[in-house]
Structure 1
Amino acid sequence: MNNKNFYKTLLKKYHFRPSKRLGQNFLIDKKVLKKIIETADLSPEDTVLEIGPGLGVLTKELAKRAKKVIAVEKDKRMAEALKEVLKDYKNVEIIESDILKLAWSSSIGAVLKFRTAPMELLQAQFKLIANLPYYIASPVIRLFLETENPPKQMVLMIQKEVAQRICAKPPKMSLLSVSVQFYAEPKIISYVSRKSFWPQPKVDSAIIKIAPIRFLEQKFLETAPIKLKTAPKISAPKSAILREKFFKIAKAGFSSPRKQLANNLSKKLKIDKDKIKKALLDCGLEPEIRAESLSVKDWMKLNEKLSSL
C-alpha cells in the first residue's frame, strides 16, 4: 500500500478528514522521506523530538534508527490513531499536546521548561526533526533556538518561501533571517513539490537543516561590551540582556525596510544620525546602507559600536 492509500484507509477508519486549520498535509513521497532521514544522520544513541507526527510515516523511520522518539501531536483523534499505528515501536513516546503550550520560554533568560515528565528526557542532547505545519514553523524555530538547552540540530520541512527568508544572505536579509542566523547556521537541503503531499497544499516546501546551534551567539556574548571574565559560560540573566539589546537594535533597523538604516536607528533609538553614520563607517559599512544588506556579524559589530554612544 502506498502512503496516500495508507492515509486514506486510516483516516476513514477513525472517521475524520485532514484539518486545513491544523495544516494537516501528509508526506506521500518516499524519496523526500529518505532525504529527511539522511539529513538527520541519526545514531542508535540519539533522542529525537518530532512535532506534528501525523499518522507516523516519518516517526516509524525515526524509531528504527534512534534510541528514543518523543512525538508531540496536537490533534486528539490523530494521536489516538498514531498510538495504534506505532504500537509495536516501544521506543516511541506519544504526547497529545500543542508544542507551544507544552513548552514555553520564561521572560528572563529564555529558559525552556516542560510540563510533563517524558519531556525531561530533553534535558539531554536531542535532535528536532519535523514536518511542521506552516502556521507554527516560525514560532517553533524561535522557541527551540532560544531555549537554554537547544537541540543539537533541527531538520525541518517548512514552507519554501519561509525557508528562503530564513537562509537569506545580504542584500536580502530580513528580521527573520537575522533572528535565526544569530543562533545558528540554516541551510536549505532541497526543495519539495506540493505534489509530494496529500492533501496537496497551495505552496511548495523545503527541507532545511539548522546547525550548529548557539555557536555564533556564544561568540557574540563573549566579545560583547558586557563580559564575564571569571566564568566559562555567560550567565542566563546577562546573556538575556545582551540578546535583548542585540534584537532591539535589529528591530529598529528593520522598522522601515525601504529607508536607510541610519534613519531608522536614529528615529527608534533616539541617537544623533551623524553618530550612527560614523558607527557604520567604523564597521566598514556605507552610511547609506539599508538593513537588508547587513550580515549577522555586521549587526554584532554595529551593536558594539552603538553601545558606546
Structure 2
Amino acid sequence: MDLTNYKTQDIVKKHGFNFTKSLGQNFLIDKQVVMDIVDGAEIGPEDFVIEIGPGVGTLTVEMLKKAKKVTSIEIDKDLIPILEEELKDYDNFELIHKDALKVNFDELIGEEKSVKVAANLPYYVTTPLIAQLLKSGAKFQSITIMIQKEVADRMDAKPNTRDYGSLSLMVQYYAETKVIRTVAPSSFMPRPKVESIIIRLDRLEKPRVKVENEKFLFDLIRDVFNMRRKTLWNGVKNLGVGKADLEKAFEEANIDPKRRGETLTIEEFAILADKIYAYK
C-alpha cells in the first residue's frame, strides 16, 4: 500500500475530519505527486518555505525534512489541532491560522534570504492569491503550486492561443513559468472533477517590461480582455483618453487598432500602454 495514501486517509479517519467543500479541500494521497512538488520546488536546507492550505500535513512533512523552516497558513480551524498534533515533532514547523489573502507576506518573510512558496493550493483561492503574491513585491524566489489544469494553462499560455489573457500577462510580467506535471483526480481525496497541474513560477529580478505606470498597463490589459472578441480599439475606449489622442497613440506604437488583444505580446502591450498614458 502506498504510504502517503494510507497515512492521509488514516489521519482523516483518526481525527474524524469532515471536508468543507467551500474551502476547496482535496487532500493529496499520492506519494509520488507529493515528492514531485517537493523536487519541483527544489527545496533545500537554506530555504524558508511558505505553504498555503496544508490539509493534514501530507506535503508539509516532506518539505519539513528538507527545508530550514516551513510556515503553513491554514484557514480551517478544524485542521489546526490536527496539524499541531501530527507535526509536533518538527522544530522547524510554524502554523498560522489565518486567511492567506489577509497575510502580510513581507512581514512574514522578514530577513529570510531564500524564500519559496510551495502548496497544493485550494482551487477557489488560486487566482487572487497568485496576484497578491506577485504584486506584493515579497522577496520569494519561486512559487510551486498544484492548481486546476485550466488555470495553469492560462498562466502558461502564449499569444494567439485560446488560453492567453490577462492572467497570462500578469504572470509573464513578474515570472517565468515551468509546467512540472499533470495530476489525475485519483491522486486526491475526495476526488476533484478536473485534472490538476504542478507549475512553478520563478520570479524575475525585475518585471519583464518597463512601463511608465504599472497600474495603467494592467488596466489596459483588463479592459482589452473584458472585450476579448472585440478589437483593441473597442477595448481602450474607457481609459479616459479622447479619440484623436488614441489614434495618435496607436500610430506611435505602430500597432493596428483592428487587432485583438490575444495577438499582442507583453512587450507590445507595454509600448501601447506608455503611448496612451502619455495622453492622459
Quick check: TM above 0.5?
Answer: yes
Cα separation, 2, equivalents of 1:19 and 1:5 = 21
Does the Cα contact within 8 Å between 2:109 and 2:139 map onto a contact in 1?
no
- Secondary structure of the corresponding residue to residue 158 of structure 2: coil
From the superposition, tell whether residues 124 and 174 of structure 1 become closer, same or farther in structure 2 (CA, over 3 Å).
same
- Secondary structure of the corresponding residue to residue 69 of structure 1: strand
Matched, 1:260 2:238: no
What number of residue pairs does the alignment pair up?
276
Cα separation, 2, equivalents of 1:277 and 1:196 = 53
Gap regions ≥5 residues in structure 1: 104-111, 226-241
Q: For 1:155, which of 112, 127, 144 is the aligned residue?
A: 144
- Post-superposition shift, 1:186? 2.2
Deviations 1:102-152 (A, max 9, x none): 33xxxxxxxx554xxxx2546644100010000001111111111132411
* Sequence identity percentage: 38
Q: For 1:167, which of 151, 156, 165 is the aligned residue?
A: 156
Match in the other structure for 1:231: none
From the superposition, tell whether residues 261 and 44 of structure 1 become closer, same or farther in structure 2 (CA, over 3 Å).
same
- Normalised TM-score (structure 2): 0.90
- Post-superposition shift, 1:21? 1.5
Cα separation, 1, equivalents of 2:81 and 2:111 = 23
Where in structure 2 are the equivalents of 1:105-254 lying within 5 Å? 114=107, 119-121=108-110, 124-172=113-161, 173-213=164-204, 215-217=206-208, 219-220=209-210, 224-225=211-212, 242-254=213-225
- Normalised TM-score (structure 1): 0.82
Cα separation, 2, equivalents of 1:77 and 1:86 = 15
Cα separation, 1, equivalents of 2:131 and 2:138 = 13
- Post-superposition shift, 1:193? 1.0
Deviations 1:10-61 (A, max 9, x none): 2222222222121111111222122111111122111000111111111111
Report which stretch shifted further, 131-140 or 249-258.
249-258
Gap regions ≥5 residues in structure 2: none
RMSD of aligned alpha carbons: 2.1
Opposite residue 299 of structure 1, the aligned amino acid is F
Match in the other structure for 1:102: 103
From the superposition, tell whether residues 120 and 184 of structure 1 become closer, same or farther in structure 2 (CA, over 3 Å).
closer
Cα separation, 2, equivalents of 1:18 and 1:42 = 29
- Post-superposition shift, 1:282? 4.2
Q: For 1:307, which of 271, 277, 280 is the aligned residue?
A: 277
Q: For 1:293, which of 263, 269, 274 is the aligned residue?
A: 263
